[in-house]
Amino acid sequence: MRVETTALAGLLVLVPDVRHDERGFFTRTFEVDLARAHGLDPDAFVQDSQSRSRQGVVRGLHGRGGAGEAKLVRCANGAVHDVVVDIRPGSATFGRWLATRLDDVEHRHLYIPAGFLHGHQTLTPTADVCYRIDREHNQAEDLAVRYDDPDLGVEWPAPVTVVSDRDAHAPSWQHLQHLLASDQ
């Protein structure tokens, strides 16, 4: 497995070595020593979650206030267009977003540090996304921005078929900016 940096400081792409043969494939999905070598504390992860979505579904853009939360995200089945948004006040890339494809072919993972919104759109008939998270969920710290906020300008590659009521009624990017500024 190798680790690639991105234009958003702290956001890492983990690229595993996938071995294919007549049976299918084999790949490692996590390596403790590699994580530590890149500043990740493998003991910090306290929760694993998984979602399954149909084609066109958008989940997000979600984040966590307070101390935030870090996530290790991968697509175990299918493919998604995965999006992260830097919401760290004072960051040189505040308000910038980055998209990458996560799928069951390349098996790339994203390490998303605290201070980012995250969301994805399903590109295949179904997709399973797995999350390893470093904090217990606290609903009072939930943050969200509407997936189609024009000021943020996230580009989704396909027509959006379904979003949750929460995501459809999420606040604007401008609202979140004011909220973050008032926390300073």
Out of 81, 107, 131, 147, pick the active-site residue.
131
What amino acid is encoded at 35 in this protein? A
Tell me whether residue 62 is one of the annotated catalytic residues: yes
* Class of residue 39 by CB neighbours under 10 A (exposed 0-12, middle 13-18, buried 19+): exposed
| CATH class, 2-182 region | mainly beta
Structure tokens at 107: 């098996």
What amino acid is encoded at 142 in this protein? D
CA dist 20 and 110 (Å) reads: 22
Cα 125 → chain centroid = 20
- The pTM for the full model equals 0.92
Helix (H) or strand (E) holding 33: helix 32-37
Nearest of 69, 93, 96, 65 to residue 83 by alpha carbon: 96
Tell me whether residue 111 is one of the annotated catalytic residues: no
| Model confidence pLDDT, tens digit, residues 72-125 | 999 999 999 999 999 999 999 999 999 999 999 999 999 999 999 999 999 999
Out of 20, 62, 118, 169, pick the active-site residue.
62
| Model confidence pLDDT, tens digit, residues 69-80 | 999 999 999 999
The pLDDT, as a whole number, for residue 184 is 62
Nearest of 5, 57, 3, 4 to residue 33 by alpha carbon: 3
For the chain, give every domain's residue range: 2-182
